[in-house]
C-alpha cells in the first residue's frame, strides 16, 4: 500500500471549469479512490464551447461532442455522474449564482472532500497562465464549501428543497504551486491516460499528450519515491 496518507472518503465531488480539466489534474487520484469504494460525481461549469481552433466550428455539435467525451472519460474510471452547468466557456465569473449552484451540489451529495482548481494561482509554476475560468470556478467552489454550504441561513430555499447544511472536511486543489499532498498514482496512471484519451476533439496527436502526461506524473512521483504522482494543495477544514 502507498504511504502517501491519502484518506479514503465515502464521497468526493469534483468541480471543474471545462471538459478534460479533471483528467489532466486529478483522474489518477480519483481512480484510486473509486477502486477503494469511494463514490465520485463531477460538476463541470462549461461544456467547452470555445474548445476549437476552427472559427467556423459548429458550436452545437462541438458542445454535444465534448459532453459525450467527458461522460466517456468519467465512465472510464467509474465516476457515477457528470453534471454540467452550461456556463459560457471563456466567460465564467465567480458569481453568486455559480456559488449557489456549487453549494446546491455540495448539499445534495454531502462529500467529505471537494476537489477543484486552486483559485489563487495566476501563473502555474511560471510555465503558463491559469485560465480565468479555472480561477473563477475554483473561487466559487471554495466559497461554496466555506462558509456557504455549512451555514443553513445561506440560500434558505435549499432547506425547503430538503437540502440541509453540509460541512466539507477537506479541499483538494489541483494546478497548484503549493502542493502539500503528493498522491501515489502508480497503479492508476494508465487509467488516467485512458480517461484523458476520450477527449479526442482536443488533441491533434494524443500520443504526444499521453507521453507528456506520463513524464510529468513520473517526474513528480520520482521526488516522493513513487512510480507516478499527482500533487494537490490539501486544505483541512474540519477535524
Between 154 and 201, CB nearer to Zn ion: 201
- Which residue of this chain has its Cβ atom nearest to Zn ion in the complex? 18
Return the number of the residue (18 or 41) whose C-beta is nearest Zn ion.
18
Decide whether 132 or 186 has the Cβ nearer to Zn ion: 132
| Beta-strand relationship, 113-117 and 11-16 | parallel
Could you say whether residue 69 binds Zn ion (CB under 5 A)?
no
**Nearest-approach distance from CB 158 to Zn ion, in angstroms:** 28
- According to the binding rule CB under 5 A, does residue 41 interact with Zn ion? no
Considering the complex, what minimum distance in angstroms separates the CB of residue 136 from Zn ion? 11
List binders of Zn ion among 1-30 (CB under 5 A).
17-18, 21
- CA–CA gap between residue 8 and residue 2 (Å, rounded): 12
Nearer of residues 18 and 158 to Zn ion, judged by Cβ: 18
CA distance 231 to 219: 11
Query: Is residue 87 part of the contact set for Zn ion (CB under 5 A)?
Result: no
Contact between 49 and Zn ion by CB under 5 A: the answer reads: no
* Binding residues for Zn ion, total number by CB under 5 A: 3
Q: How far is the CB of 83 from Zn ion (least distance, A)?
A: 17
Give me the least distance between CB of 21 and Zn ion, in Å please: 4
Closest CB to Zn ion among residues 17, 183: 17
**Which string of x and - marks every residue 147-186 that binds Zn ion (by CB under 5 A)?**
----------------------------------------
66 binds Zn ion (CB under 5 A): no
For residues 130 to 149, the per-residue mask of contacts with Zn ion, x marking binding by CB under 5 A and - elsewhere, is: --------------------
Residue 89 is a binding residue for Zn ion (CB under 5 A): no
SS3 sequence of the chain: CCCCCCCCCCEEEEEECCCCHHHHHCHHHHHHHHHCCCEEEEEEEECCCCCCCCCCCCHHHHHHHHHHHHHHHHHHHCCCEEEEEEECCCCCCCCHHHHHHHHHHHHHHCCCEEEEECCCCCEECCCEECCHHHHHHHHHHHHHHHHHCCCCCCCCHHHHCCCCCCCCCEEEEECCCCCCEEEECCCCHHHHHHHHCCCHHHCCCHHHHHHHHHHHHHHHHHHHCCCCEEEEEEEECCC
- Least Cβ distance, residue 17 to Zn ion (angstroms): 5
Whether residue 221 contacts residue 185, with contact meaning beta carbons closer than 8 Å, is answered with yes
Catalog residues that contact Zn ion under the rule CB under 5 A: 17-18, 21
Amino acid at each position: 500500500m502507498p504511504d502517501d496518507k491519502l484518506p479514503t472518503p465515502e464521497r468526493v465531488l469534483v468541480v471543474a471549469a471545462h471538459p478534460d480539466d479533471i483528467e489532466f489534474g486529478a483522474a489518477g487520484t480519483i481512480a484510486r479512490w473509486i477502486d477503494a469504494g469511494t463514490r465520485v460525481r463531477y460538476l463541470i461549469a462549461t461544456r467547452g464551447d470555445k474548445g476549437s481552433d476552427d472559427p467556423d466550428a459548429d458550436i452545437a455539435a462541438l458542445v454535444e461532442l465534448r459532453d459525450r467525451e467527458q461522460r466517456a472519460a468519467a465512465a472510464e474510471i467509474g465516476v457515477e455522474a457528470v453534471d454540467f452547468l452550461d456556463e459560457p466557456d471563456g466567460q465564467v465569473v465567480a458569481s453568486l449564482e455559480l456559488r449557489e449552484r456549487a453549494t446546491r451540489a455540495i448539499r445534495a451529495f454531502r462529500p467529505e472532500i471537494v476537489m477543484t482548481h486552486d483559485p489563487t494561482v495566476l501563473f502555474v509554476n511560471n510555465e503558463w497562465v491559469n485560465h480565468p475560468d479555472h480561477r473563477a470556478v475554483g473561487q466559487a467552489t471554495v466559497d461554496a464549501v466555506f462558509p456557504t454550504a455549512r451555514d443553513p441561513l445561506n440560500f434558505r430555499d435549499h432547506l425547503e428543497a430538503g437540502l440541509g447544511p453540509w460541512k466539507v472536511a477537506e479541499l483538494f486543489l489541483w494546478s497548484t504551486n503549493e502542493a502539500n499532498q503528493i498522491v501515489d498514482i502508480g497503479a492508476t496512471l494508465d487509467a488516467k491516460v485512458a480517461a484523458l484519451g476520450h477527449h479526442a476533439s482536443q488533441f491533434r496527436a494524443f500520443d504526444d499528450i499521453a507521453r507528456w502526461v506520463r513524464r510529468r506524473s513520473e517526474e513528480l512521483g520520482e521526488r516522493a519515491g513513487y512510480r507516478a504522482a499527482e500533487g494537490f494543495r490539501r486544505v483541512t477544514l474540519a477535524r
